[in-house]
Each structure stands twice: as structure tokens, then as C-alpha cells.
Amino acid sequence: MPAKRKNPVKKQSASRKKASVRKKSAKKSLSGRLGRFIKKIILACIVFGTLFLSFYTIYLNSIIKDKFEGRRWSIPAKVYARALEVYPGLKITITQFEKELKLSGYRKDKQASTQGSFSRNGQRIELVTRQFKFPDGEEQSHKLRIQFNQTAVTSIYDRLKRKKVSLVRLDPAVIGSIHPKLHEDRLLLSQDEISKKMKNTLLAVEDRQFYQHYGVDPKGIARAMWTNIKAGSTVQGGSTLTQQLVKNYFLSRERTLVRKLNEAIMSLLLEYHYSKDEIITAYINEVYLGQDGRRAVHGFALASEYYFKRPLQQLSQPQIALLVGLVKGPSYYNPRNNQERAKKRRNTVLKVMLDQGLIKQAEYQRGIDSGLGISRRWSLSHSPFPAFLDNVKNQLKENYNQDDLTDKGLRIFTTLDPKVQWAAEDALAKQIKSVNKKRAKHLQGAVIVSHRDSAEILAIVGGKNNREGDFNRAINARRPIGSLIKPAIYLTAFEQGYTLSSLLKDTSFSAKSVKGKLWQPQNFDKKEHGLVPLHVALAKSYNLSTARLGMEIGVDKVLNTVRSLGVETDALPYPAVLLGSLTLSPLQVSQMYQTLADQGFYSPLHTILSVQDENNETLQQYPVRVERRIDENLLYLVNANLQEVVSMGTGKGLARYLPAHYNIAGKTGTTNELRDSWFAGFGNNLVGVVWLGRDDNKPAGLTGSSGALKVWGKMMKQLDVGVLEQNQPENIKWFWIDSMNQLKLTGRCYNAEFLPFIQGTEPENTEDCSGSLFDEKSRTNWMKHLFQ
């Protein structure tokens, strides 16, 4: 029987089944391996992400701790004017006093009731001074009543103590700041200085859950995310107050996911390291609230001063509400530019407070009915006295680097006297305006005024516009000084035995100058005056006799005298130096005449009294340095001659502004082609230097007498320049002299001149005039002849 054959179909089906099983098994194996691989990848990502997040968090944590625990803000240096000391008899009008109060940021109210306020009624001012920490101690606040007459303070009455006082010192005006590159400014508050009213208002509007969350408010974030999803872009933030601080202080303002993540992490870290009170204090000091020119106004304390001229502690509830409302948009809600918008925003803040039970209905109603109470614009973005501030910065650079000046909140107390500064600015502006319009358009000027005894610079005017950024001619313009050099020539001559009665030749001559060129000086009037007494040559500013004298005593020696007077110069001893080719700045000329005014004592001119750190600790003081440079006898002679310049010579035009008994000493200066007009002079209290000219060095058309002298006179007429009293040295004696005949007179002849001499240098020969007829008219005619 044949063998049974297998069914090939069944065999193929079994094979397919086995293959299918093997395939399924392979797939299952591959799927398992892939799953395990993916799990490993996920686990690795989680580990790596955790490590990355940990390290990144540590990095962000280091940023927070390094910046927040160190110096949190760059605080610009504040520059103060001199403090006004008020006493009965102080020469200041009530109008000038009121102007000084306004410069210091005092506000004029109907009644003076809080610090920094004043009221005026006729010739009486009532004010409440501010408490202030001076370098020499703290000055408490005073409630004062000050009475004036037409020219001075007559009495001071303390309204709290109910008694008259003899002296009170007002807090000084801030006249400028030295800002960092970002031009941020703020006044820092401590936790204790922030009122409950301020905190409640801020939190009610910006972060009601501040004391409940840990830096991030999930509900707020969710709400913001939903709003953004619906809008299709980032239009709303759910930031807590802590997140706002992080964003403003550590991060940029861009709206990206990475920045938002950084903000959240850093907020949690900030809350972990610091207390709620520290965070809200930092926020109140950091938040941006406005723009004052180039200066960014940060923090509620500075904003309070900027918008209301009041400390934050003195603000009413509506005023605080206005500031808090500015957080949403300082520019959009700026109360100076958009009053209605700002008022609406303020009222919204007050309504929020009402709804939260922080204020009552009556208080809310009073608040929304009240005006904004914004003060008139008060700016420190630009200093009102930029030329003076330039000199302050120059002096500071000798001892401090730029970071010290822009970061550390230094308080710099200066010598600026606003009354003197305003008088200088006013006199310069009026004189330039008085010349014809065509000439005034290009005419410029500079003024420096210092105190005679202390060498403190009281005022600097750098140009007729006196704007920040303008060229500061008082410090940086170097111009030929003309006849202002002549006192140095005559001082040198006195050292070599000349006297005020010595006869000089005022006749033409020539001398070799630079590169063998011929130098031929001329008098201003193009005339020769023959033999003239030395004191007349200086009083009348004769060039020929002065140049001859300078050539005889030595130009190099004259330059040495200039250096002794305090001027650093490397000028070469060319003959032209004798008639003022020497180029100096008005500041350098001021130093020269400061030494003359202080009877030969050299004291460096300075604008800073002291520097304090942000904790009111004195870092440096600038005491007066005094050094005898010129013999007192010689100085007495030249100053007596400079008084004669004003009484009889080229400076006699001052009589239109100041009485003759002031005995002012001074010197005019004029350069070739009337390019420069100078006057330098001093009374008992003040030393002043004025320059007029053009920046393009074209002729200004003014002599020293017709230009600068008039500015000097108009300025000093407004100030207490003082009757000049020279301390006469024991070795100086006065004699009646006949200079032309070199005789000492024992009586009063019509040709007598009363002159001082160093004892033993007076003329030896004597003439007795006691029997001769004398009348004042004859002597007056003789003096006119002598000084014609």
C-alpha cells in the first residue's frame, strides 16, 4: 500500500504561523528595547535638566546675593551750595531771600506749617526750616519769623521757643549731581522711614497677596497666561511685587519666556533669602517713577521731592495715591504733562483703597475732590550753575575716581554763594545786552568772584548763556591778559629798589623779539608822555614806560613774580609778555589777583569745603592753605597804586557804581585791536575778575574800561564788596612828595603827592613848603595835569 503524502498547504500554513510568531516576538523585543531606551533618554533628560536647573539656580542665586547684599544702588554725588547763615544785619533783601529759599526747594504756602515750607507777608517771612546734617553737626528744624527792611534782616523770632534768636543756619541748596552713565537718581529710605500709609497704598494696587505668597503668585500667573492665549501675544503679566523688583533690578524689560522663567526663579530665591520688609523697602527705593531731563527719577522718596517738593513722610493720602498710580506708566500718567489722566489714575487708586476698606468714604470723597498739588517744575537734571560745577568736578578729580563720584552717594559741600552768582550773571547779561545788537550777538564773557580772606570761589560764570555743556570760558578760555600783568612788573621793580615816585621814561623804543623781529610798543593814546612818576605810569596804564621798566628789570624776573602770585606758566621771557601777550584763563587771573588782594599770601582758590559719605561721615575737609609769597611791604605799595588806578586812572569809571570811600583796588586790561576787555579788582571782602571778548578772536570793540569794568561795577553794586582797608606794615611810611623833582616836602605844596614808601627809600632831599601859599584848586589842577 503506497505511503501517505503530507499536505503541502498545511505545511506552508504552519510555516507562516511560525514566521508570524517569530515576527511578533522580534517586534515585541524591539519595542521593549526601544521603550527601555526612551526611558533612559527621559531619565537622562530629567537628570540633566535637574542638574542644569540646579546649577542655573545656583548661578542666579549668586547674582542675587552678590548684587543685593552689596551696594544695591549707584547713588550719585550731591553738590550743595554754601549754607545761608541768617542773622540780624545780614545784607539781603526779602526778594533775594525768597529766591534762595526757592533754590533750596522750599515751597511757598499760605501758611508755613511743615518742614520746607514758607509764607510771605510784606517784609516778613515765616518758614519751617528742614532738619539737616552738616559736617560739623546736625541742625534741627526751626519755625521762624524773619523781618526785613529794604536792605537787610532786622530780626529773627523762633515761633516755637517764643524768643528772638541771633543766628540760624538754613539747609543748603542742592546745585547739582554727578550721575553714573545710566543717569539714575534716588533718595534711599530705610524700613523705619516708610509709613504704613505708603505700604498699604502700594500693596493694595500692586500686590494684595504680598505677605501670603513666596515670590510668585500662581493664580496671578494663570490669569495672565489665559489672557495672553486669548490675545495671541503677551499682553498682561501676573507679576507679584517681588517679581517686579527682580525685573527692574536684575533683568531687562523684554517679554520672553526665558526672562519670565528667570524672573520666577529669582523671585523665589529673593523671598528665600530676604524678609518681606526688606523686599518692599528695596522696591520702594528702586521703582522708576519719572524722567527729569536726562535724570531718571527712581524711588518714592525722590519722586515725592520731584513732584511735590516734600519729603515722602509729609504727603497726604491723595498724593501717595498719585505716586503709586505712576507705577503703571510714569510717562503716560505724568501729572505735569497729563493732569486729567493723572487725576483719573489717582482716583482709581483711591477707589481700590476704599473697596479694600483702607480708607473711609469721607476720606475718599475729599481725595477725589482735591487738586493734584504738583509743585512747579524743579529740576536737578541740569545744574543751574554749570560753570561752577565744572570747577567742583575738576577739584574732586584730584582725590576721587569716577566711581566714587557716581556710585557712593557722596555729599559735597561747596563755597557757591547764590546771591553772588546771580549778581554776576545779571551784570554780565545786562552789559552784553547794552552794547549794539550786531556786536552783542558775538560778544561773550566770563566772571569769577572769590572771598578775599579765604580764597573761596563764590561764583563762576562761564558765558552769557551759562548753559550746561557750553564752553566754560572762565576755566578753559586762555586769552592775552593785556595790562593785567602790570602789577607783577611793578612788584618786581619794587624788589629792585624802585619806589612809587621813581621817574620813568615814557618814550618810544624798539627791541628784538621772537626770531629777531622788531618789537615796537605804543601807548593806547599813541602819544609819548616823557618823564612820568612810576605810580602815574601804572595808574594810567602807560605801555612805553612800563615796557622800558620791564626790559630793565628783566622779563624773566617778571615771569617769576607771576609764578609767585600763583600762576603756573611756562611762558618764555619775550618782551611782548610785558604788555600782556601772556595768555591765561580768567581762573588763573583770579588766582593772581587773589594773592595781591590777600597782601602777598598765596591761598589756592577752591570751591569745596568738605566731602561726606552716604552715612554723613566726613571723608575730607579742605582747610585754607596760606603761604607768604610776596613781601608785605612791596604788596602794600602795589595795592596802594592799584587803588590809585580806580581813583585817578583807567579805572575811575567805577565811581558810577561804587562810592569813592570804598577805596577799591583794581586794574583794567585791553589787548591789541580791542580783542579782549578785562577788569580785575577787589574790596575788603570780595575779589572779582571779568573778561569780555569774542570766541573767534575778532575785535570786540571794547577797552577794559568800556566793557569789563562796567560788568564789575554793576555786579559789586549789588554785593557787599566792602571798604578796602589795607593793614599798613610798620616799615611803611607816608610822605608828601614832589615826584618830578624827587623832593620830600615838609609842607603842603600845590604839586604835592601823598605816597607810601618803605622806610628809608623816600627821597633824601627836602623842600620846606610851610611858607608857600596853598589852595586845593591849584593842587587839583596839578593832579589833573599829572594824570592827564
Residues with catalytic function: 206, 483
> Looking up cell 587839583, which residue turns up?
780
Query: Could you tell me which residues come within 8 angstroms of residue 402 by beta carbon, excluding any fewer than 6 positions away?
Result: none
Cα separation, 186 vs 74, in Å, equals 9
Cβ–Cβ contacts within 10 Å for residue 155, how many? 16
Cα separation, 265 vs 288, in Å, equals 23
For residues 235 and 225, the answer to whether their CB atoms sit within 8 Å is: no
Amino acid at 582: L
Cα separation, 607 vs 715, in Å, equals 20
Instruction: Name the E strands within 600-685.
Output: 601-602, 608-612, 618-621, 627-628, 665-670, 676-682
For residues 105 and 171, the answer to whether their CB atoms sit within 8 Å is: no
> What's 381's DSSP letter?
S
Helix or strand or coil: residue 242?
A: helix
Helix or strand or coil: residue 156?
A: strand
Query: What backbone torsions phi and psi does residue 666 show, to the nearest 5 degrees?
Result: -170, 175
Cα separation, 551 vs 116, in Å, equals 62
C-alpha grid cell, residue 609:
569745603
Q: Which helix (H) or strand (E) holds 690?
A: strand 686-694
> Looking up cell 588806578, which residue turns up?
645
Cβ–Cβ contacts within 10 Å for residue 190, how many? 8
Cβ–Cβ contacts within 10 Å for residue 225, how many? 13
To 10 degrees, what angle do helices 418-434 and 94-103 make? 110
CB-count burial class (<10 Å; 0-12, 13-18, 19+) for 217: buried
Cα separation, 399 vs 403, in Å, equals 12
Helix or strand or coil: residue 88?
A: coil
Q: Report which of 262, 263, 255, 217 is spatially closest to residue 233, judged by C-alpha positions.
A: 255
C-alpha grid cell, residue 360:
473711609
Amino acid at 113: S
C-alpha grid cell, residue 562:
607771576
Strand partners, 414: 608
Cα separation, 350 vs 324, in Å, equals 10
How many angstroms separate the Cα of 17 from the Cα of each of 10, 23, 172, 769? 11, 10, 104, 159
Amino acid at 48: F
SS3 content of the chain, % helix, strand, coil (to 5): 45, 20, 40
To 10 degrees, what angle do helices 196-206 and 339-355 make? 100
Q: Report which of 715, 618, 620, 608 is spatially closest to residue 81, judged by C-alpha positions.
A: 608
C-alpha grid cell, residue 373:
498739588
Q: Which helix (H) or strand (E) holds 29?
A: helix 8-69
Q: Report which of 197, 191, 184, 192 is spatially closest to residue 324, judged by C-alpha positions.
A: 197
For residues 670 and 483, the answer to whether their CB atoms sit within 8 Å is: yes
Cα separation, 573 vs 557, in Å, equals 9
